[in-house]
Amino acid sequence: MRILGLESSCDETAAALVEDGTRVLSDIISSQAKVHERFGGVVPELASRHHIVNIMSVLESALDSAGVSLDALDAVAVTRGPGLVGALLVAVQVGKAIAFARDLPLIGVHHLEGHLSAIYLNASSPGAVPGTPHVALLVSGGHTSLIYVKQRGEYLELGATRDDAAGEAFDKVAKLLGLGYPGGAVIDRLAKTGDARALRLPRPMPGKAELNFSFSGIKTWMRNWVSENGVPTGQALADACASFQHAVVLSLVSKTREAVKRAGVTDVQISGGVAANSYLREEMRRAGEEDGFRVFVPPPRYCTDNAAMIAAAGYHRLLKGERSNLDLNAMANLPLASSS
Ligand code: KG4
Ligand code: ZN
């Protein structure tokens, strides 16, 4: 089954063709990061406008690079939420138009289920993906949570952030350090040559019983540090990045370890934009070796927003016989549990 995936929930306009929920035939992403950079965050109205301008050429590129026309499609999957409602609407409308014009099945996809499905893209063998049940650490710019994946499509939230998402904390601290937007990947790169013990940041919510996260304390500590010491440069900048990243990753890994113990599972997946973080991947693998769980992480390209993951999630729901109607609407807020 060849599915067209469409995604426009935040600042990436994306279209992809995926066969049987795993084989990626094409995967086009047009990022608006440059548009929003000078504002230090995504401006919703600008995001909607740029999606409108870009979506047709992104769609054409996805078809061209797969070497097919709309005739070759078997279904359309589109992100219906959560996200910026005006942004979401663009891909939802295009998806509905194609489904209507070509009389194709349509499926609305939960953005986070998309992130959780990225692990199945181009998976070489059944052993390359986590078994069920497993624990998923979902860390993106808008969300941070620990999820018990009972089976594909059945989720239970074990914990979530009480304030900022992990990616949001990376982006805000990157802004403080003058590193531009979005700054997660820049901090990751600079931290490689830094000393993680240089600054002694607080450990957020260290209580073992607690599976929730909090990153605003770390962010405020960094803000105070910068206002006392000025914006660091050179080695001091690398040290600040490494120390901040260490504090965030320590919290993500220790809560995941606790969730794995409680859930009694042997497999963990990390998904969402922050899953591209090299230190998080390393530290989670190390924890897995110590505690005896396996760690699965999509390649960095599929960690951040893309449409291939939306097609993969849509495929699974279509197989179960689910369909969306042409009155499908974009939802700014949408709990994962009600994602069908
Ligand atoms: O999943 P995503 O593309 O968009 C949302 O759904 O939010 O995640 C984007 C987030 C941004 O906050 C970005 O700074 C962060 O992922 N990110 C990273 C890295 N690459 C992207 N954070 C830390 N290290 C990275 N290498
Ligand atoms: Zn996302």
Q: Are residues 21 and 91 in the same domain?
A: yes
Q: Are residues 168 and 277 in the same domain?
A: yes
Cβ of 114 closer than 6 Å to ligand 1, yes or no, is no
Cβ of 47 closer than 6 Å to ligand 1, yes or no, is no
Q: Are residues 57 and 111 in the same domain?
A: yes
Ligand 1 centroid–CA 275 distance in Å is 8
Cβ of 182 closer than 6 Å to ligand 1, yes or no, is yes
pLDDT tens digits, one per residue of 4-45: 999 999 999 999 999 999 999 999 999 998 889 888 888 999
Find residue 26's DSSP bridge partners: 17
pLDDT at 206: 67
Domain count, the chain: 2
- Going across the sheet that includes 144-151, the strands are 154-160, 144-151, 134-139, 267-271, 294-296
> Which H helix or E strand runs over 48?
helix 44-66
CATH code for position 98: 3.30.420.40
Q: Residue 340 pLDDT more than 60? A: no
Find residue 249's DSSP bridge partners: none
pLDDT at 239: 98
pLDDT tens digits, one per residue of 259-295: 999 999 999 999 999 999 999 999 999 999 999 999 9
Q: Are residues 271 and 313 in the same domain?
A: no
Q: Are residues 137 and 272 in the same domain?
A: yes
Q: Are residues 213 and 103 in the same domain?
A: no
Please give the number of the atom of ligand 1 that sits closest to the Cα of 304: 3
Q: Are residues 107 and 149 in the same domain?
A: no
Q: Are residues 293 and 315 in the same domain?
A: no
Mean pLDDT taken over the chain? 95
In a domain? residue 126: no
Q: Give whole-number Cα distances, 89 to 59, 247, 285, in Å.
A: 15, 37, 38
Q: Are residues 227 and 314 in the same domain?
A: no
Give the domain extent around 330: 2-118+302-338
Please give the number of the atom of ligand 1 that sits closest to the Cα of 303: 1
Query: Which residue's CA is the nearest one to ligand 1's atom 8?
Result: 273
Q: Are residues 27 and 149 in the same domain?
A: no
Q: Are residues 307 and 283 in the same domain?
A: no
Q: What is the pTM of this model?
A: 0.95
